[in-house]
Amino acid sequence: EVRLSDRVNAIKPSPTLAVTNKAAELKAAGRDIIGLGAGEPDFDTPQHIKDAAIAAINNGFTKYTAVDGTPGLKKAIIAKFKRDNNLDYAPNQILVSSGGKQSFFNLALAFLNAGDEVIIPAPFWVSYPDMTIIAEGVPVIVKCGEEQRFKITAAQLEAAITPKTRLLVLNSPSNPTGMVYTKQELTELAEVLRRHPHVYVASDDMYEPIIWTTEPFHNILNVAPDLYDRTFVLNGVSKAYAMTGWRIGYAAGPAKIINAMKNVQSQSTSNPASISQAAAEAALNGPQDVLKPMIEAFKRRHDLVVAGLNEIHGITCLPADGAFYAYASVRPLIRALGLKSCTEFSEWLLEKTGVAVVPGDAFGLGGYMRISYATADATLVEALRRIKEAADSIG
């Protein structure tokens, strides 16, 4: 009987968080659960970053800051963009937010009008469509299958653009597939965008350093600097520095829109936590070699998981380029079990083996499961053993 807003009725809670919660519930009830659902590094935040936060507390850096971020952190972000991405930004082109999630939320609210279309290649990070809907935009989902390594092609982009298109979302390395767009692919997408000057781009670079491609990381601006005035670069410290709980993300882009996003934030959460900002500043300015062992571990686990999955009858998984996710096809198993979807499959898997994965349905491309391998190697080995045993039992 309680009436909710049409806005909230149109969205669903984050499915990845739902899996994590379900696994935690079963665990609390005494079941032996292996949670491969959570999208966060298992590593501890590096010590010098924690020390900076502790110093901030002890120095009384515990008050409101500027809504868009402290001058020190913004300077560190600008230096990071120059150092790692060869991109130039002025302070009024940067907005620091409470996580990358809020960066995109601010963008949707500040940039979209009712009916504006947002092109979202699937499989996608779960929040893009729902945040678009909250902002009364229209998600235009473009299915990108495994034969194209889950990436949108220039031809698909061209076909999806209409006069109402406002934004294209690119996420590389990708959650949930770990795929990275090559320079060539980005160049081809940029050629399409040049023909449609009304379309902006959101480049979500959240997993930037976690790659093992032969090409170094680049986003669309690196191959098409002429798109600078209509590109937003979204990034953050959550995944790169094992800082998911600190809640710091940042956006860079055209000053006028960044300012509008800042206004949205000023009427919702104001500044991100002062202490977390001090920590993020230390992360960006500090030694970058702290990332190396984490990236090496992710690569090692990637190899372990992809090889292990491909040994299981009924499961296939493409090797990925980065992040810490494996997106594996489970279609033959769904069929063999007489199930209707990969959501039902993941429920079956959890019940049968205690292994929690996120079904591909959540990411807009069914028939798959996403395994987050940001967990100990031994845990992954045990999870693979259980999945294999369960798959073999189907016969």
- Whichever of 244 and 353 has its CB closer to ligand PLP, that residue is 244
Tell me how far, at minimum, the Cβ of 131 lies from ligand PLP, in Å: 10
Q: Which of 119, 117, 127, 105 is nearest to 39 (CA)?
A: 127
DSSP one-letter code for 268:
T
- Whichever of 16 and 353 has its CB closer to ligand PLP, that residue is 16
Alpha-carbon torsion 122, 98, 16, 382, what sign? positive
- Pick the piece of the chain touching ligand PLP (CB under 6 A) from 86-94, 96-104, 129-137, 271-279: 96-104
Q: How far apart are CA 245 and CA 22, in angstroms?
A: 20
Q: Restricting to residues 235-254, which ones interact with ligand PLP according to CB under 6 A?
A: 236, 238, 244, 249
- SS3 for 377? helix
Tell me how far, at minimum, the Cβ of 103 lies from ligand PLP, in Å: 8
Neighbours of 73 (CB within 10 A): 29
- Whichever of 280 and 315 has its CB closer to ligand PLP, that residue is 280
Q: Choose which of 99, 139, 308, 367 interacts with ligand PLP (CB under 6 A).
A: 99
- Whichever of 125 and 181 has its CB closer to ligand PLP, that residue is 125
**Binding flags for ligand PLP, 5-44, as an x/- string (CB under 6 A):** ----------------------------------x-----
Tell me how far, at minimum, the Cβ of 16 lies from ligand PLP, in Å: 7
- Whichever of 101 and 149 has its CB closer to ligand PLP, that residue is 101
- Pick the piece of the chain touching ligand PLP (CB under 6 A) from 98-106, 188-196, 223-231, 310-318: 98-106
Q: Does 173 bind ligand PLP (CB under 6 A)?
A: no
Q: How many chain residues bind ligand PLP (CB under 6 A)?
A: 13
Name the β-bridge partners of 252.
94, 233
Instruction: Note whether 140 and 120 are within 8 A (CB).
Output: yes
List the 138-143 sheet strands across, edge first: 94-97, 249-252, 231-236, 200-204, 165-171, 117-122, 138-143
CB within 8 Å of 306: residues ≥ 6 apart: 317, 318, 319, 320, 326
- SS3 for 96? strand
Name the β-bridge partners of 201.
168, 231
Q: Does 360 bind ligand PLP (CB under 6 A)?
A: no
Tell me how far, at minimum, the Cβ of 204 lies from ligand PLP, in Å: 5
Tell me how far, at minimum, the Cβ of 149 lies from ligand PLP, in Å: 17
Q: How far apart are CA 385 and CA 174, in angstroms?
A: 26
Q: Does 204 bind ligand PLP (CB under 6 A)?
A: yes
Q: Choose which of 85, 156, 165, 175 interacts with ligand PLP (CB under 6 A).
A: 175
Q: Does 125 bind ligand PLP (CB under 6 A)?
A: yes
- Pick the piece of the chain touching ligand PLP (CB under 6 A) from 95-103, 185-193, 298-306, 372-380: 95-103
- Whichever of 284 and 337 has its CB closer to ligand PLP, that residue is 284
Tell me how far, at minimum, the Cβ of 171 lies from ligand PLP, in Å: 5
- Whichever of 146 and 204 has its CB closer to ligand PLP, that residue is 204
- Whichever of 200 and 324 has its CB closer to ligand PLP, that residue is 324
Q: How many residues does the chain have?
A: 395
Question: Locate tokens 């965008």: which residue?
Answer: 193
CB within 8 Å of 185: residues ≥ 6 apart: 151, 153
Residue 51 tokens, joined: 């020390």
Tell me how far, at minimum, the Cβ of 394 lies from ligand PLP, in Å: 31
Name the β-bridge partners of 231.
201
Q: Does 123 bind ligand PLP (CB under 6 A)?
A: no
Q: Does 100 bind ligand PLP (CB under 6 A)?
A: yes
For the range 26-33, what are the long-range contacts, defined as Cβ-Cβ under 8 Å and sequence gap of 24 or more?
A: 26/350, 26/354, 26/356, 31/354, 32/354, 33/350, 33/354, 33/355, 33/356
Residues near ligand PLP (CB under 6 A): 39, 99-101, 125, 171, 175, 204, 206, 236, 238, 244, 249
